[in-house]
Amino acid sequence: MKIIYPGHACVILDGSKKVLIDPFVPDGNIPVQPDLVAVTHAHADHMGIASSFSVPIITNNEIAHYLRGKGCTTEAMNIGGTIEVDGVSFTMVQAMHSSWIEEGGIGMYGGVSAGFVIGMDDITVYHAGDTGLFSDMRLIGELYHPDVALIPIGGRFTMGFCEGMMAAEFIGAPVVIPIHYNTFDKIKQDVDEFARAINETTDMKVVILKPGMEYETE
């Protein structure tokens, strides 16, 4: 499987299917026609251009209801559940964050923020969404054994440097890919230092993807 990183929290898992997670990048350019879309929560920097896709969108009940109103096809689920769509499995897991749907200056309840554990082609990827650190990340590691963990490290709205390091330890995935940093001034992070800190002190490997880059899983 290839993991393509358009930027911010937007990731494409490119295997037997193309799974697009959190379809937002600042320039709006997402270079793939996905087979499936997953949305972790309703904030604009995650839901992004989800409503422009005609493929199934996997997300929480509240966002699914909203997107169905826009004519989208959705697969609604909630935390703790697993579904299989087109041979790809999606488990919705906890995230410590907020969520609202903003439209025309009005905020609507967006349900609870989440992360996803996605299984395809015998590879398991954990996308943590936006979240603070929580100790049940250990449980996600124990239960699902992700091969790759995508974790936010930009701080302010999510985990920062120290929390991200502990999250990596809790999850225990052999490969960690930092996301949700340096997109905006408010989430600046020294990703090279973050990678060095983990790579020099643990068996895990931090892979830094600049926007537009990709990583091929082993």
Between 132 and 174, name the residue whose CB sits nearer to Ni ion.
132
Is residue 124 within 8 A of residue 152, CB to CB? The reply is no
- Pick between residue 2 and residue 109 the one whose CB is nearest to Mn ion: 109
Is 29 buried (19+), middle (13-18) or exposed (0-12) by CB count in 10 A? exposed
Residue 18's binding partner, choosing from Ni ion, Mn ion, none, with beta-carbon cut-off 5 to 8 A by kind? none
**Which tokens belong to 76?**
């609604």
User: What's the closest the beta carbon of residue 130 comes to Ni ion, in angstroms?
Assistant: 4
Shortest Å distance, C-beta 134 to Mn ion:
17
The full DSSP string for 193-214 is HHHHHHHHHSS-EE----TTEE
Report if residue 127 touches Ni ion, rule: CB under 5 A: no
Question: Which three-class secondary structure state does DSSP give residue 116?
Answer: strand
Tell me the closest approach of the beta carbon of residue 103 to Ni ion, in angstroms: 16
Q: Sketch the per residue contact string, 25 through 54, with Ni ion: x for CB under 5 A, - otherwise.
A: ------------------x-----------
Q: What are phi and psi of 205, to 5 degrees?
A: -120, 125
Q: Which does 163 bind (CB under 5 to 8 A by kind): Mn ion, Ni ion, none?
A: none
* Binding footprint of Ni ion on the chain (CB under 5 A): 43, 130
